[in-house]
Chains A and B, each alone.
Chain A
Amino acid sequence: MMGELLFSGGVFSDAIDGGRAGAEIELLPMGILARTPDGKRFEVPYRECQLEIGGFSGWMVFCRNRDRSLTIFCEDRKFPSALSSASAGILDEQLNDKLKKQKSESRRGSLIAAAVLVAIVLLVVGGYFGVRAGARAAVRAVPTSVDREIGAMAFESMELGGPELDDPAVAEALQSMIDRLAPHAALNGMEFEVHVVDSPMVNAFALPGGKIVVYTGLVAQAAEPEQVAGVLAHEMAHVTLRHGLHRIGQALGLAAAVNLLLGDTGGLVAKGSDLFQLASINSYSRDQENAADAEGARMLHAAGMDPMALTRFLEALKEEKGDLPGVVSWMGTHPRHEERIEAIRRQAAEWPKQEFAKIDVDWADIQELAK
């Protein structure tokens, strides 16, 4: 029986410029012949043929000569059977062996591809919500002593960006504001302790457990003590809402949650995590800031301080951006401040009007020390 003898394929050989070329493949009685477009001929006798099956499609047949300096390949579906009959059965053992391996490989490949797609959907949709809920529940179970320990460890490993201020007057003034707010905190067990750092940076932040760092730049910037109290209340809210722990729990808890969900199922885990890790960490922060604004305003109000002071601070910064260059106006036109100011205003409007007890501190003096 005569099978087909001419096929379209290619050649790998160092004798060709560029190392490869397409070729017309002919199955001769004694071996495989390949003819390239520029007329070169390459031959591999059947007796010397070493076969491999692979390529992208999975059914490309590679015929190599003994020293592997020449490879003739063909992807035609009819090639394996034509080769078998043309070579009078010499290559059958190799063919069957390789074909069997290839079949099981491709079955495995399709299964994995399907599993990956399913898992990705599961992970992205289910995982996103599942992990966040799981992490939140886990944090609730953790005692506040852990917050304090973590805060202490973080404080030790941190570069503050300046020395702590010598004169205790500023720290005392800020601590007095904190002491006025602390009884109204939503969670017990936090030890609020302020550290004032001598640096022109306008910033403040809080660590889990209650350590709060305020930079003198911020103190110098605030026109009235109530504005700093606003910032402090916001930071204390981050502590009582345990946002730091949530952020940690999220990053660490991802692996545990995913392993639980999916067990040992290939590399699909990695793909899914890629996708929702980015999303969840970004939006979490935003929610956290909004929550801290709201809780901070509530604490201020409960302590008899004007919550609108916080919005005044934001306004003051917003206005002074006028003379600053491009990058800054991006932050300026970013709707975040507007939204924050609006949100606080709306919240305050719902509370009954009351007399605010002014903060008893010689602010001018304090600002002098902070400069």
Chain B
Amino acid sequence: METEIRNKPSFANIRIKLGPGDRVIAEADAMASMSSTIDIKTMWSGGFLRAVLKRVFGSESLFVNEFSTESEGELILTQPFPGDIECLELKGNTLYLQPGAFLACEPTVRLGVGWAGLRMLIAREGLFRLKVSGTGRVWFGAYGGIFQREISDEYVVDSGHLVAYEPSINVRIGMAGGIFSSFFSGEGLVTKVTGPGRIYMQSRSFGGLAAWTNSHLW
């Protein structure tokens, strides 16, 4: 299976060339186009109950599609907003994705939904998160450009800018500065992450876009 992420970071999309026996799992509405030689099998995302949980809390669709072919074919996957897509090969490790970030994965990757905790709600990352684990590649995307960082000690991330993080990362909510500064600076509450581990960040946030749009209306 050949894969390529094109048009990064603004309108990223994944082009997958499937050969006989290759399979890839993707979000229900991720398919932009595909060859007629490709078969789709629609399944509940991780079982019916899990699917409902994911839908209600994780902003993921109820269904996932499994794409396969007996000969060969091409598949293009996209996301509903402008932004970047990243690919990571899991080797038995786990990654937590913010709601809506998951795009596609190989069938050997396990998808689960989990409770992210109140602090993640305050960090504008949602109450629930998607847990991807196992082996194989996973593709995820976000609004904005995606960049990663290996954290060894502590790092500060503005709320709404965290895309994914490893379970070894500790996440706390803190103030951006002193009380007056946090309040007036417009930064407000920030996420303080402590390593070891890797985080993925996005260079734009929907909150930032909304605030910018609103600031121009009276």
Contact = CB atoms under 8 A, between A and B. Distances in A.
Contact of A22 (B93, B96, B150, B189): B93
Given A20-B166, A282-B214, A10 B93 contact: yes
Contacts of B183: 254-255, 258, 269-270, 273
A56 interface: yes
Contacts of B218: 282, 285-286
13 contacts: A10-B92, A12-B168, A18-B91, A22-B90, A22-B92, A117-B118, A259-B179, A267-B174, A270-B182, A270-B183, A270-B188, A270-B189, A271-B188
Given A10-B93, A38-B91, A282-B214, A62 B188 contact: no
B179 A264 contact: yes
Interface of A: 10, 12, 16, 18-23, 36-38, 54-58, 60, 62, 71, 73, 75, 109, 112-114, 116-117, 254-255, 258-259, 264, 266-271, 273-274, 278, 282, 285-286
Given A269-B183, A271-B189, A286-B218, A10 B168 contact: yes
B189 A267 contact: yes
Nearest to B118: A113
B217 interface: yes
B10 interface: no
Q: For chain B, which range describes its interface: under 10, 10 to 19, 20 to 34, or 35 or more residues?
A: 35 or more
B171 interface: yes
A254 B184 CA distance: 9
Contacts of A18: 88-89, 91
Contact of A55 (B93, B168, B179, B187): B168
Contacts of B217: 282
Contacts, number: 113
B175 interface: yes
B176 interface: yes
Nearest to A54: B170
Contacts of A54: 168, 170, 194
Nearest to A71: B196
Nearest to B184: A255
A278 B133 contact: no
A116 B122 CA distance: 8
Nearest to A273: B183
A112 B118 CA distance: 10
Contacts of A19: 150, 198
B170 A55 contact: yes
Nearest to A22: B92
Nearest to A270: B188
